[in-house]
Each structure stands twice: as C-alpha cells, then as structure tokens.
C-alpha cells in the first residue's frame, strides 16, 4: 500500500522516485539491477511506469556489500577516494566478494566479468568487503598491465611524469627519464609495489637519484671497500657477460668467500648502502639489475673516488 507519496515538490523539482523513472525510460534501460535496500521502493516505481504508460524494465535486487564490521558500504563513510585507486582492481575486489559467478577468483578483467556473470547465481547473502586486501588486487592488476606491451608503454609515460614530478629538481640524474631505463625498471620492481606511485616512494628513490654516501659511512661497514668495489667493476666490464640475478648472487658469494674475515652479509650491506644509502631493501643482485651495468659502474667508481 503506497499511500500518496510526493513525486513533484511545490517548487516544481521532482523527487528521486519520479526522476529515476523518467531518466531510465529515456535512456532505454531494459534491466535494472540494484541493491536490496531499493526493494521497498520498487512498487512506487512500477506504479509510476504504469501511470506514464511506459513498459518498466526487468528488476533484480542484489545483496549488499558491507564493511568488515557489518555496516553498509557507503560513499560517506571513511576516507577512501576511489579516484586514487585503479578502477580494474576496485571492480575486481567488489565482484570477488559478491555473487553471480561460478567461483571467486582474483584478477578478472571487465570482459571476463561480463562473460562469466550469471544472474541465476546471485545469492541472498550480503558480502563483507575487506579493503585491506585491495593492495593484493592492485599488485595483480599492475602485473597484468605490465605484461601487455601497449599498456606497458602507457605505464612508462606515467612513471616518467611521476619521476619528473618527484625528482626533476636534480638535473644530473635526467638520464633516468630515458624510456628504455624506465621500461626496464617497471617489470623488475613490479612485485615490490601495488601501485605505480610506489616506484617513486623514498624506499625506491635510489632508482632515480644518486645517494650521497660518505666514505666514512662505507668504511665503518668494511675496511676493504676498495677491494670489493674493484671486483664488482671487473665483473661488470667482463667481455660478453650477460648477467642474471642468479649469476650476480653467485659472484658476490665468491667475492665474500675470497675475503677472509669478511662476512657475506657485510659485503651485501656495503653495496646496499653504496647504491641506495639504505641499510635494508631489495636483494643487492636485484638492485644491481634494476639500476643496470652503466649506473652501477658510475656509483661504484664514485665509491672509489670518494
């Protein structure tokens, strides 16, 4: 029993119930899938379609997405700004928690979601959305973008802009904006970030700037700084040497074994500090491949000349 609801205000401005019916009709909407909280309004809308002489769309009402505490997901709750989140990852986490699919899986793209969606699989149970898992979805979709050549080129342009914005005040490092360098960095470092912006974070700044590391700081780690640095230079300048991460790990291990009284962890720590000014970070071999032989030579020679 709908009573006599207001559909047009005295100001002539329509209420939502009238406006949505008129708009949906003129947009040619054939199927209306909306949250279950709108179920109570559906009789009003059906009566309006009837009064206006229009064919109503087919209605279906879906279970709600809820926060982990069971409260309704709302645009007015929390401080999440959707414009700052990858659209594919946000869509993926929403559909992953909801129903309508044969099975839940991460990493589905929009075309895949369209193909796999089945209205008969919609359940009556609301789903809890855990936004703390969003970085996992972001990381997965970033990998998918990197694996596509066209998308990867677009990522290169975006990362170049981010680097210039964050570190552009240092002209001596302008070569890091070269497309070839940036395109090498993205696949190598994709597993360590969930968003492209993560590649210009302080922890990744060594990729784009030369860290100012004093000789005293390196000498405090090992007295054999010059010996270690010269060995690495010889390794990088070897004829026909096509270095891989495993090969670099092996060579660094051999170097440590040849320095009696020097721990392997000390050798790795020395180069991590020399390359990035950080005591903790990615494996040294991975860091070396990310920077590339030319950049590593420059930083190693800087150690020798300091």
Split at pLDDT 50, 70, 90, the class of 240 is very low
Tokens coding 77: 């709750």
154-168, 189-203, 247-261: segment of lowest average pLDDT: 247-261
Residue 283 burial (CB count, 10 A): 14
Tens-digit pLDDT profile for residues 87-127? 788 888 888 887 888 888 888 888 999 999 998 898 888 88
Q: Give the pLDDT score at 71.
A: 81
Residue from 282, 274, 299, 300 nearest 222 by CA = 274
Tens-digit pLDDT profile for residues 5-31? 899 999 999 999 999 999 999 999 999
The residues, any chain, with a CB within 8 Å of residue 196's CB and separated by 6 or more, are 142, 155, 158, 159, 162
Q: Give the pLDDT score at 84.
A: 53
Instruction: Tell me if the pTM is above 0.75.
Output: no
The bridge status of strand 31-35 relative to strand 65-66 is unpaired
Residue from 214, 193, 204, 142 nearest 167 by CA = 204
Q: Hunting for tokens 């981010």 — which residue is that?
A: 162
3-state secondary structure 61-128: EECCEECCCCCECCCCCCCCCHHHCCHHHHHHHHHHHCCCCCCCCCCCCHHHHHHHCCHHHCCCCCEE
Any alpha helices (H) in the chain, and if so which ranges?
A: 16-26, 42-52, 87-97, 110-116, 134-147, 149-167, 179-189, 215-219, 225-236, 245-258, 264-276, 284-291, 293-305
45-49, 222-226, 282-286: segment of lowest average pLDDT: 222-226
Residue 38 burial (CB count, 10 A): 14
Greatest mean pLDDT among 54-68, 119-133, 175-189:
54-68
């Amino acid at each position: 029993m709908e009573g006599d609801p207001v559909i047009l205000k005295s100001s002539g401005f329509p209420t939502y119930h009238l406006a949505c019916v008129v708009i949906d009709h003129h947009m040619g909407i054939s199927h209306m899938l909306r949250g279950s909280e709108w179920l109570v309004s559906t009789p009003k809308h059906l009566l309006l379609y009837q009064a206006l002489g229009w064919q109503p769309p087919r209605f279906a009402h879906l279970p709600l997405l809820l926060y982990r505490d069971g409260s309704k997901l709302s645009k007015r709750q929390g401080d999440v700004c959707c414009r700052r989140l990858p659209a594919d990852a946000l869509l993926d986490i929403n559909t992953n928690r909801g129903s309508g699919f044969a099975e839940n899986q991460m990493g589905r793209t929009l075309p895949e979601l369209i193909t796999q969606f089945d209205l008969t699989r919609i359940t009556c149970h609301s789903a809890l959305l855990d936004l703390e898992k969003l970085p996992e979805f972001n990381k997965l979709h970033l990998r998918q973008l990197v694996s596509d050549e066209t998308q990867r080129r677009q990522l290169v342009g975006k990362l170049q802009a981010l680097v210039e914005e964050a570190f552009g005040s240092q002209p001596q490092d302008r070569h890091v904006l070269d497309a070839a360098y940036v395109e090498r960095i993205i696949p190598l470092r994709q597993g360590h970030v969930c968003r492209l912006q993560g590649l210009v974070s302080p922890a990744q700044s060594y990729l784009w700037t030369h860290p100012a590391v004093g000789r005293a700081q390196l000498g405090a780690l090992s007295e054999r700084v010059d010996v270690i640095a010269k060995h690495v230079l010889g390794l990088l300048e070897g004829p026909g040497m096509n270095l891989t991460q495993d090969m670099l790990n092996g060579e660094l291990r051999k170097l440590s074994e040849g320095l009696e009284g020097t721990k392997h962890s000390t050798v790795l720590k020395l180069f991590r500090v020399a390359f990035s000014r950080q005591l903790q970070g990615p494996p040294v071999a991975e860091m070396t491949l990310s920077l590339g032989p030319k950049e590593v030579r420059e930083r190693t020679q800087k150690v020798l000349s300091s």
